Chain A
């Protein structure tokens, strides 16, 4: 066991963790932040995406110990301070960018990172950036639309309801 300390959604957390404990497991099982989902255990589906020091990371393939000293943000830390939905979250609701909701936390975390790196992405850039996030419900149409809308671009011409 090793003692790890990190800041999660602005709150300092210290835990004793076994060496093999994954960051996703620490978040879900020890801290109780179950919004981070595990859909494949092998880093392909992206449902477990969180931000570590400001960058998207698949938390199912990072050891908790590796995040010692890091700033971690999960889906629970993405809403505005007053609890209202952030711009990206609100765009997902407005454009019906989620159905079952399981992949959604990872999609929001990845989309947030994309818009930080590329504030006005093209459709092709959005689709390419989402290669590591799988959704089985939406056919991606409304996810891509929501991300474009969250970037401030006019999506009214993209596709009718």
Chain B
């Protein structure tokens, strides 16, 4: 197999052609002859008691087919949280019902309390205006700390705003406290991990259809995981049997976490399709996306790092308030706990780690996993406090990190936060980073900046993350209500081409190109003869979808296992064709050969034979050539990296410019370097956006002040530099067949502390005694910090 097409080749993406010609098919592009439109009535207040909703005028409006309120869904289930977290005292988390439409109370601005179905979208919008809702306004709960001391509750039935109070690892608490108490040096940092809005460029959209003849439903929706959506609708919310519900996620315009979750609009269009007998579409406008997509981050944290006099780490202790918003979204309880607390040992040999997380309900949109999901929060806390510690100890920040790195001969390494790292080489990453970023030239560049009246800073960061989510056995012990394996079916057609059905969904990651590279290499055939089928529950055996940088590490492993089964069966068929023993068949470069002879048959000949089984020994070989594998990982994978950047700060205005950024990552083996690099670029864009630009703001009444692109600063092309990305220092994952670790989130995890560390370095170089600024580091925030220093 030439390396211009197989594993390790930067094969250009086949899916690009349809996207570049405007021929992609996203949910909102799909229509139907009987299409009707859904529009939602959404709360304009953050917290209120629904006194009455009169829909009679709306029902009489032109074109209106049906009006729904929360009353229509009282009998159906709530949208559940996927992880059950226990508090430190052993009590289970509070899990109030999340209904399809608000019932009794509205709990955040944008909370939908009614929906109109009409012939046209305009008619539905007009009818929504005619709904008469009397809603008694209640005090809004916005601040996470205040939420825990007041007597107003987002959910009255649980009589608290605390979802849980979690300790990790509770048995380590006393030792960690003692280590901090007795340490030569303790660095303390209070910080906010700013709330973000994911902002996939395609707004959410769902189309429900119902066929009375078979009592069958079809949902087209903007989902990262159609099977999970089907499972949630079937098992928890609507009770539609799984075999009567098809969920299709066609081309999806970005997700970043926000399209993992099941949302009430999906259930509504299905119910509406059945009641009206019509195909019902809903597509969010951008304001709805800001108000109702699950947001990300939003942690208020105090972290302490204890060291000995030489800078050896003794303990990390963290106390975090995690805002989960008004309702628990599907992964909301896992994100601040097992995707955050378990990473709080970082890349370091620290012996004591304790993490306390209090999850808090507020009258804001639900908060859930957003690109990185807990690991950006962990990395930011660790890498900011380490930088502050280095400054306090008068040590070089890189040397302080190196002094405490887990070393290459220590794997498998049991971290103090409960994970077993399988592989890595953090010093090698740091070495490579220093090489590619031209660290030696920094001082000259700083002088040049100073000559222009600017302050230049250098920031560094080392991260580790856990992805390839996740071993079902482990996550089951940790409270997950689902398994996190994935599945694939490899179907070899009689004419030798292949369809590979995968549970992972591609919405920018390039699966349609990369999975064929893997299968093609294994079978010694042209990847162009292999097609990927994804996103349709009626065509794919099962799957848990795409998030947590899991597609290749988990679903790709299932593809490998299924392909291995294909090879094994094909060998039997080849042996039969050549009248040889199975054990004598060798397979290489697409040819089956009888060992030691010149007898051989090609993969294509075997495929054809599988479907024309004349004279098959049917007791040994079934006709056909199709295999399915479910793959459940043995461990998380542990990508790691060393990042650095140089920024210039204008001391007159506080404006920060990112001059250069280098990301050196260990993703294990790399299947398609072009795509991997592109994934890092995107993560860096979002991480730098978090650090410098993006801040989701609610006012004290719970109004979302940043609900449009005029108010929420998305990174634009001229906010970012060209990036230097390097993955030459990979160490193969030891427990999956491809040795891959996952690359989707790294950039968003590693970049925020890198940027903030660089800005602090710049300010310090200019004699400003600023030790921390909360993100986003807008000109105003930086100027204020400088002025107050």
User: At the interface, yes or no: B20 with Cβ under 8 Å from chain A?
Assistant: yes
Contacts of A142 in B (CB 8 A): 678, 681
Interface hit among B238-246, B390-398, B503-511: B503-511
Contacts of B508 in A (CB 8 A): 99-101, 137
Interface hit among B272-280, B403-411, B709-717, B732-740: B709-717
Contacts of A79 in B (CB 8 A): 21
Alpha-carbon distance between A123 and B675 when the two chains are bound, in angstroms: 22
22 contacts between A and B (CB under 8 A): A34-B22, A40-B286, A41-B286, A42-B708, A44-B709, A89-B21, A92-B20, A93-B13, A98-B16, A99-B678, A100-B507, A101-B15, A101-B20, A127-B720, A131-B716, A136-B199, A138-B685, A141-B720, A141-B722, A160-B725, A161-B673, A161-B674
Alpha-carbon distance between A37 and B286 when the two chains are bound, in angstroms: 13
Given contacts A33-B22, A41-B286, A131-B716, contact A100 B200 (CB under 8 A): yes
B1-43 near A? 1/0 per residue, CB < 8 Å:
0000000001011011111111111101101000000000000
B716 to chain A: closest residue by CB: A131
User: At the interface, yes or no: A52 with Cβ under 8 Å from chain B?
Assistant: no
Q: Which residues between 480 and 523 of chain B lie within 8 Å of chain A, taking CB atoms?
A: 507-510
User: At the interface, yes or no: A135 with Cβ under 8 Å from chain B?
Assistant: yes
User: At the interface, yes or no: B476 with Cβ under 8 Å from chain A?
Assistant: no
Given contacts A40-B709, A45-B201, A134-B709, contact A85 B21 (CB under 8 A): yes
Partner of B12, one of A93, A100, A158: A93
B21–A78 touching, CB < 8 Å: yes
B195-219 near A? 1/0 per residue, CB < 8 Å:
0000111110000000000000000
User: At the interface, yes or no: B89 with Cβ under 8 Å from chain A?
Assistant: no
Which of A35, A89, A101 has the most C-beta atoms of chain B within 10 angstroms of its own C-beta? A101
User: At the interface, yes or no: B686 with Cβ under 8 Å from chain A?
Assistant: yes
Interface hit among B166-174, B248-256, B585-593: B248-256
User: At the interface, yes or no: B337 with Cβ under 8 Å from chain A?
Assistant: no
Cβ of A18 to closest chain B Cβ, rounded Å: 8
10 additional A-B pairs beyond A37-B202, A145-B722, beta carbons within 8 Å, are A34-B29, A42-B710, A44-B709, A93-B12, A101-B24, A101-B508, A102-B201, A105-B22, A136-B685, A141-B720
Partner of B23, one of A35, A99, A130: A35
Given contacts A101-B15, A104-B19, A134-B714, contact A141 B202 (CB under 8 A): no
User: At the interface, yes or no: B718 with Cβ under 8 Å from chain A?
Assistant: yes
Looking at chain A's contact residues, the main secondary structure is loop
A39–B201 touching, CB < 8 Å: yes
A159–B674 touching, CB < 8 Å: no
Given contacts A135-B201, A139-B682, contact A101 B19 (CB under 8 A): yes
B20–A139 touching, CB < 8 Å: no
Alpha-carbon distance between A59 and B674 when the two chains are bound, in angstroms: 33
Using a CB–CB cutoff of 8 Å, the interface residues on chain A facing chain B are: 20, 28-29, 33-42, 44-45, 47, 74-76, 78-79, 85, 89, 92-94, 96, 98-105, 108, 123-124, 126-128, 130-131, 133-145, 158-161
A39–B203 touching, CB < 8 Å: yes
A103–B717 touching, CB < 8 Å: no
A75–B708 touching, CB < 8 Å: no
What 3 A-B pairs come out closest when comparing CB atoms? A35-B22, A102-B253, A139-B685
B678-690 near A? 1/0 per residue, CB < 8 Å:
1001111110100
B20–A130 touching, CB < 8 Å: no
Which of A37, A39, A103, A137 has the most C-beta atoms of chain B within 10 angstroms of its own C-beta? A137
Partner of A47, one of B13, B201, B717: B201
Contacts of A41 in B (CB 8 A): 285-286
Alpha-carbon distance between A40 and B290 when the two chains are bound, in angstroms: 10
Which of A36, A85, A89, A139 has the most C-beta atoms of chain B within 10 angstroms of its own C-beta? A139
Given contacts A45-B709, A136-B199, A137-B682, contact A99 B509 (CB under 8 A): yes
Alpha-carbon distance between A35 and B682 when the two chains are bound, in angstroms: 23
B10 to chain A: closest residue by CB: A161
Contacts of A141 in B (CB 8 A): 681, 720, 722-723
Partner of B21, one of A75, A126, A143: A75
Contacts of A134 in B (CB 8 A): 201, 709, 714, 716
B251 to chain A: closest residue by CB: A101
Cβ of A140 to closest chain B Cβ, rounded Å: 4
Alpha-carbon distance between A42 and B203 when the two chains are bound, in angstroms: 13
Partner of B202, one of A35, A39, A139, A143: A39
Given contacts A40-B286, A40-B709, A42-B710, contact A136 B29 (CB under 8 A): no
A85–B20 touching, CB < 8 Å: yes
User: At the interface, yes or no: B677 with Cβ under 8 Å from chain A?
Assistant: yes
Which of A37, A103, A128 has the most C-beta atoms of chain B within 10 angstroms of its own C-beta? A37
Alpha-carbon distance between A108 and B714 when the two chains are bound, in angstroms: 20
Alpha-carbon distance between A88 and B87 when the two chains are bound, in angstroms: 56
A93–B722 touching, CB < 8 Å: no
Contacts of A139 in B (CB 8 A): 681-686, 688, 715, 720, 723, 747
A127–B19 touching, CB < 8 Å: no
Given contacts A37-B253, A139-B685, contact A99 B718 (CB under 8 A): no
Alpha-carbon distance between A143 and B682 when the two chains are bound, in angstroms: 11
Alpha-carbon distance between A42 and B287 when the two chains are bound, in angstroms: 10
User: At the interface, yes or no: B188 with Cβ under 8 Å from chain A?
Assistant: no
Alpha-carbon distance between A105 and B683 when the two chains are bound, in angstroms: 22
Alpha-carbon distance between A134 and B682 when the two chains are bound, in angstroms: 12
Alpha-carbon distance between A103 and B633 when the two chains are bound, in angstroms: 35
A105 to chain B: closest residue by CB: B22
Alpha-carbon distance between A53 and B685 when the two chains are bound, in angstroms: 34
Alpha-carbon distance between A20 and B12 when the two chains are bound, in angstroms: 42
A136–B10 touching, CB < 8 Å: no
Contacts of B681 in A (CB 8 A): 138-142
Cβ of B14 to closest chain A Cβ, rounded Å: 9
B676 to chain A: closest residue by CB: A161
Contacts of A28 in B (CB 8 A): 29
Cβ of A72 to closest chain B Cβ, rounded Å: 13
Alpha-carbon distance between A52 and B203 when the two chains are bound, in angstroms: 25
Alpha-carbon distance between A92 and B23 when the two chains are bound, in angstroms: 15
A136–B717 touching, CB < 8 Å: no
Alpha-carbon distance between A159 and B662 when the two chains are bound, in angstroms: 11
A85–B717 touching, CB < 8 Å: no
B709–A99 touching, CB < 8 Å: no
Q: Which residues between 645 and 692 of chain B lie within 8 Å of chain A, taking CB atoms?
A: 673-675, 677-678, 681-686, 688
Given contacts A39-B202, A160-B725, contact A143 B10 (CB under 8 A): no
Which of B21, B286, B684 has the most C-beta atoms of chain A within 10 angstroms of its own C-beta? B21
A106 to chain B: closest residue by CB: B201
Contacts of B710 in A (CB 8 A): 42, 44
A102–B720 touching, CB < 8 Å: no
Alpha-carbon distance between A133 and B256 when the two chains are bound, in angstroms: 19
Contacts of A89 in B (CB 8 A): 20-21
Which of A78, A99, A161 has the most C-beta atoms of chain B within 10 angstroms of its own C-beta? A99
Partner of A136, one of B24, B256, B673, B722: B256
User: At the interface, yes or no: B764 with Cβ under 8 Å from chain A?
Assistant: no
B507–A130 touching, CB < 8 Å: no
Cβ of A104 to closest chain B Cβ, rounded Å: 5
User: At the interface, yes or no: B724 with Cβ under 8 Å from chain A?
Assistant: yes
B717–A35 touching, CB < 8 Å: no
B19 to chain A: closest residue by CB: A101
A100–B252 touching, CB < 8 Å: yes
B717-759 near A? 1/0 per residue, CB < 8 Å:
1101011111000000000000000000001000000000000
Cβ of A118 to closest chain B Cβ, rounded Å: 15
A98–B19 touching, CB < 8 Å: yes
Alpha-carbon distance between A76 and B417 when the two chains are bound, in angstroms: 53
Cβ of A131 to closest chain B Cβ, rounded Å: 5
Cβ of A93 to closest chain B Cβ, rounded Å: 4
Given contacts A34-B29, A37-B253, A39-B201, contact A140 B720 (CB under 8 A): yes
B24 to chain A: closest residue by CB: A101
B717–A99 touching, CB < 8 Å: no
Partner of B20, one of A39, A93, A100: A93
Contacts of B20 in A (CB 8 A): 75, 85, 89, 92-93, 98, 101, 104, 108
Partner of B717, one of A40, A44, A140, A160: A140
